[in-house]
């Protein structure tokens, strides 16, 4: 597998190593390298043998005591952004008098890179949500606005899943003393684990802050959806009531049409020649229409249908 090899002096070199060669190099089982070689993998920070295996979405690396192998180079952001950041951290580390352990430096840089990336993604979603909320306040409801809100909610849900994965992984590491000790490569029982614990706690604090912000925005979007649903239900009820009134009017007119139809038949009733019969029947039908419609509307109101 193609990778970038970066040592503690800052030297970068491309290497093509198989899983077996890596397993031999770090004295681990081949199956331990699955997080690095598998595309779909939950967030993993796993000390094994002489290395720490890290897989956080696009960042897939193996950290040794004095070297790090960087994989997933087909993702442009890894060689273009992550690698330069790591090189810069190592260069600063070389001149630092109170040196952090190399493996901890790389892990810290990896976590900070990922946290910055997640925070930028959240800020993009937050800005997009503000624009949608402004549109909802200024415009009438439209299908496109609902689609934008749904798409935004999906993006936020995916981000929340990513944050939750790494938050769970780091929390488990911090709470397990043996795992913390194993993150000191080449030392069986370190005197204290304050260094790595401080790095993980700092990362966890930032992740939890982002997680809270994500939850707040999710609640805001959910509340907005509920309000929009209530508005749509109200509009739907108005349309239903109007349709019911139209149906009631049509029903009454249909009954009156039966009466007029009877008089329109070619049957003799004896009043065909009476000049006042047309007006009398017409006014009677109007009165019947008003009475029947009023009775029907009154009944619908008593039943709280309209």
- Looking at residue 288, what is its pLDDT? 75
Going from N- to C-terminal start, the domains of the chain cover 2-234, 235-302
In CATH, what number does 2-234 get?
1.20.58.340
Enter the CATH code of domain 235-302: 1.20.58
- Check if the beta carbon of residue 78 is closer than 8 Å to that of residue 12: no
Report the alpha-carbon distance of residue 300 to residue 244 in Å, rounded.
10
Among the listed residues 9, 25, 10, the one whose alpha carbon sits nearest the alpha carbon of residue 1: 25
With 0.85 as the threshold, say if the pTM is over it.
no
Quick one: the chain helix, strand, coil %, rounded to 5? 65, 10, 25
CA distances 132 to 128, 145, 148, 171, 219, Å, are 6, 7, 8, 35, 15
Q: pLDDT at position 123, please?
A: 93
In this predicted structure, what is the pLDDT of residue 236?
80
Q: How confident is the model at residue 102, as a pLDDT? A: 93
Per-residue pLDDT at 131: 84
* Structure token pair of residue 162: 């990513």
Please state, in angstroms and as integers, the Cα–Cα distance from residue 139 to each residue in 9, 142, 150, 227, 264, following that order.
59, 8, 17, 15, 53
Along the 306 residues of the chain, how does pLDDT read in single tens digits?
A: 788 999 988 888 998 988 899 999 899 998 899 988 887 678 899 999 889 999 998 899 999 999 999 998 888 899 899 999 999 999 888 887 667 899 999 999 999 999 999 999 999 999 988 888 887 765 566 667 778 888 888 999 999 999 999 999 999 999 998 889 999 998 888 888 899 999 999 999 999 999 999 999 989 888 887 877 777 777 787 778 778 777 877 877 777 776 666 666 555 666 666 667 666 767 777 787 778 777 777 776 776 666
Within this chain, domains 2-234 and 235-302 share the same CATH topology: yes
């Amino acid at each position: 597998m193609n990778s970038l090899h970066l040592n503690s002096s800052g030297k970068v070199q491309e290497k093509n190593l198989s899983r077996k060669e890596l397993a031999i190099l770090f004295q681990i089982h081949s199956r331990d390298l699955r997080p690095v070689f598998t595309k779909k993998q939950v967030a993993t920070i796993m000390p094994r043998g002489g290395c720490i295996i890290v897989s956080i979405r696009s960042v897939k690396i193996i950290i040794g005591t004095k070297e790090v192998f960087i994989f997933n180079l087909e993702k442009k952001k890894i060689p273009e952004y992550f690698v330069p950041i790591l090189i810069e951290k190592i260069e600063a580390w070389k001149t630092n008098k109170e040196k952090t352990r190399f493996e901890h430096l790389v892990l810290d840089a990896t976590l900070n890179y990922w946290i910055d990336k997640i925070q930028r993604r959240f800020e993009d979603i937050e800005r997009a949500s503000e624009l949608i909320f402004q549109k909802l306040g200024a415009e009438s409801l439209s299908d496109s606005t609902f689609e934008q809100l749904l798409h935004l909610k999906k993006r936020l849900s995916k981000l929340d899943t990513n944050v939750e994965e790494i938050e769970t992984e780091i929390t488990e590491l911090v709470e397990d003393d043996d795992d913390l000790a194993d993150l000191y490569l080449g030392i069986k029982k370190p005197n204290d684990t304050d260094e790595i614990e401080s790095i993980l706690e700092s990362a966890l604090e930032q992740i939890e802050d982002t997680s809270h912000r994500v939850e707040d925005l999710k609640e805001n979007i959910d509340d907005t959806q509920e309000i929009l649903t209530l508005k749509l239900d109200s509009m739907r009820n108005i349309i239903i009531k109007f349709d019911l009134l139209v149906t009631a009017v049509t029903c009454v007119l249909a009954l009156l049409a039966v009466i007029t139809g009877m008089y329109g038949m070619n049957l003799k009733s004896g009043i065909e020649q009476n000049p006042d019969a047309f007006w009398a029947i017409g006014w009677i039908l109007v009165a019947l229409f008003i009475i029947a419609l009023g009775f029907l509307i009154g009944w619908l109101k008593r039943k709280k249908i309209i």
